[in-house]
Structure formats: structure tokens, C-alpha cells
A = this chain, B = another copy of it.
Amino acid sequence: MLVTITDKVTMDKIVSLAKRRGFVFPASEIYGGIANTYDYGHYGVLLKNNVKGQWWKALLQERDDVVALDSAIIQHPRTWEASGHLAGFTDPLIDCRVCKRRFRADKLEDAVCGQKPSKQPGQGPDCDLTDPREFNLMFKTQIGPVADDGSVAYLRPETAQGIFLNFKQYLQFSRKRPPFGIAQVGKSFRNEITPANFIFRTREFEQMEMEFFVPPDEAEEWHKYWCQTRYDWYVKLGIRPDHLRLRPHDPDELSHYSSATSDVEYLYPGSMDWGELEGIANRGNFDLTQHAEHSRQNLEYVDPSGARYLPHVIEPAGGVDRAALAFLIDAYDEDEIEGETRTVLRLHPALAPVKVAVLPLVRKDGQPELAREIVAGLREQMQAEYDESGAIGKRYRRQDEIGTPWAVTVDHRSLEDQTVTVRDRDSLTQERIPISQLPGELAKRLATPWRSPKLNA
């Protein structure tokens, strides 16, 4: 590993900040929690909405070769026969008849014996392990009130298959033809036995996936294009390039249907090391072939010259939760102001949950009233907060900790000449400007391309 993280960030600090300020925290805590399940609080929802908003913006708004889909979580069960998930989306599990624990057979070396935590399963004197058995990772349920075989259904383990099911309809009504993409954001569910690392791997997670359909002979070129384009998206939104890499899968890592897959990986702190943010796979025509066969429908595209083919597919598949986590980690910083340590999230302004805080310097002399008037005026335009409680330095720190890029302070002079100061989270500069220019100035700053101050360090 050539790169080391020089920041003061650790996963513990991120988990603690996330809980303290209500970004994300364990779910169902009043009932003792539910393993590896998290709820997102106020700032977490705003952050995730911004991440998803930027993904849609990059794919839908700024281009004209991608269209959107929102398919149901519970699709027809034959979907998962065709996709191969019903037969093959399994983990090999081993039981210990003594300690009653269950382990992944392929990850025994990371597991701990239920009776001798210093040993691996199978190495304790009383261990009695079964042979590995395959367990499907899809959550099963029943549709309709009768629990018979005909009513079995599954929660989707990925959003991708909903896209393939609708490929033919999109050829009809979307007015697009290859090369074009269908993109979707939504929840998926995997009944993993070893979810871990905070929100990096959870049973319930949110995906941002696109299937980009291309003529077969253009697949390799488009795969390269999407690897670079998706990598650039993370950089543009503030992840430092030396914490990001594009790692091509080794031949033995590749799914049987994929001719090439590259992961955008992020350098997580501590023992997590490099971990996947997004996989960009060249899936060939595997999925369309499978669904054509199982549905007995012709899913071929007929191009204007009359040539027929099953398009090949490039799939950039990212995780909303993983992206949000990486943005939080990469933004985390500590510095010193007036002898005190400051925690600050140097988030890209487009991702910051709150864009501006409006603070009266003191809680009297008409300052709160003027500050409230200003914040009311800004609310039409952006997420803004008003805060009057505590010393001004403490209020700045509160905003720094959630990554608010600008703080507007109303002081005694504001009442006299209708000006305020705008404090910058990163440079700590304070600029005095007329209140009337504030909406324009903030809009201008939001529209300006952003560069992490950590890149200058």
C-alpha cells in the first residue's frame, strides 16, 4: 500500500460523530437493536438525498442518453430463476453442534469459536462442525394470505434485474436506442450472515445502479468510459484521488458472465483498508439472454439498418450508504482554532446537509429578529439553519461539525448598515457583504466548482 491516511480520522470517530449529531445510528435501539441495521437521522437524510440528487443529476439531467426507472422491490419470482439468484446466490454455511453458532465456510479464518474466542471454529477441543450447506441470501416472503408454494416471493437482492425485465418496454416508449442507459435508485436486501463495518455492509441497503445497453462491438470501449466517468464523479464531489483507485478484478474474481469488472475502491481508515464503493461490470448479454429464454420473448434490438442483436451491458452499480460513508470519512478533519481542537466536515457544498447557518452575534438588540428575517429569505433557495443558543464560537463549531460551508453572522453593525459577515468553514475568512446581496453571493458560491482544501495540504 503506497498511500497512507494522514488524517486524524478513524472509524470510531465517524461512528461517534454520526450518532452524536444524528447522521446515522443503530435502529430499534429501544428494543435492544436489530443486528447491523441502521436508521438515518436528520443530517443523514439530507446528506443521502444530496448524494442521490447528484447521481441523478450526473446521469439524467446532464446527459441525454440515460433514462430512469423505479421498479418494485417484490418482482415476479421467476425473475430470480432467470437471473440465477435462486440457484446460485448462496453462502456456504457451517454449524457447530456444540456452541450452536453458524459460520461462513469460506470465511472460517475470520470467525471465532463460540466457546474459545481465541480459536477459530473447528480448533476448539469441543467443536463439532457440520459439512457446509448452501443458504440462499434472498429474503423470502409470501404474497397473498395463503402460505403455499405458489405465493412465495423474494425481496430483490439487487435493483439491476428490474431494469432487464423492462428493457423491451423501454425500447418502445423511451425513444432511446443503444447506446443508452436505464438507471435506478432503491433499496435491496441480502440476508448476509456477516454484515459488518457500520453502514459498509448491511442487510438492507440502497443502490444506485445503471444498465447501459450497447452494440456488442462497443462494449469494451464503453466499459472503459464508464469506469473513468464514475471514478471522476467521486473526485468531483470531493474524494481525494489518492484515496480512490480503479481496481480491475483478477480473472478468478470475475463472475462467470462478466468479461471485465473494475471496482472504484476507497481507502477506508484502519483495518478496513481498500473497500468497494462501486463496481463497473461488463456483463455481456448474459442477463438479456437469460430473460429471453425464461420468458420466451425476443429481447433483440433491431437497429435502423435492420441488424438484430442482444445488446451488451455495462453496469455501474454503486451503494448510496457506502458513498455517504466515504464522503463523511474523507471530509472528516480536525484542526486547531484559538488553542482548541475543532472537528470539521470538509464536505463538498453540494453534499453538505445544511448550506448556510444564520447566527445573531448576541441574543438582543434586534439581532435575532434580523437574523430570522434573513434565514426566512434564504429558505426558499436552500437548506438553512438559525441558531441563537450559546457563544458564537460554539455555534460555529456546531456547524463545522456537520459540514455547513457558510455561516452568516448578524452583529450590531448589521442593524446600522444592513451588512452581515459570511464566514467560510474551510478558509475561516469572514467577508462583509450587504444583506441584499446575500442570496446572489451564496448562489454564486454554490455554483463555483469546489476543490477540497485538503488537496492543498
A residues contacting B by CB (< 8 A) are: 19-22, 25, 27-35, 37-42, 44-46, 48-49, 56, 60-64, 67-76, 78-79, 91, 93, 102, 135, 139-146, 153, 155, 162, 165-166, 168-170, 173-175, 184, 187, 189, 191, 193, 203-204, 291, 294-295, 297, 375, 379-380, 382-386, 389
Contacts and interface: CB of A to CB of B under 8 A. Distances in A.
Contacts of A20: 173
B22 A76 contact: no
A204 B295 CA distance: 24
Given A30-B291, A46-B68, A41 B102 contact: no
Contacts of A69: 39-42, 45
A153 B25 CA distance: 20
Q: Is the interface of A mostly helix, strand, loop or mixed?
A: mixed
Contact of A74 (B34, B42, B142): B34
B379 A76 contact: no
B22 A173 contact: yes
A408 to B, nearest CB: 15
Given A73-B204, A141-B141, 6 more contacts: A27-B71, A27-B162, A31-B165, A37-B75, A64-B386, A144-B193
Contacts of A297: 30
A31 B295 CA distance: 6
Given A41-B69, A61-B379, A35 B166 contact: no
B139 A141 contact: yes
A40 B72 CA distance: 8
Nearest to A73: B204
Contact of A141 (B46, B145, B155): B155
Contacts of A383: 60-61
Contacts of A166: 29, 39, 41
Nearest to A297: B30
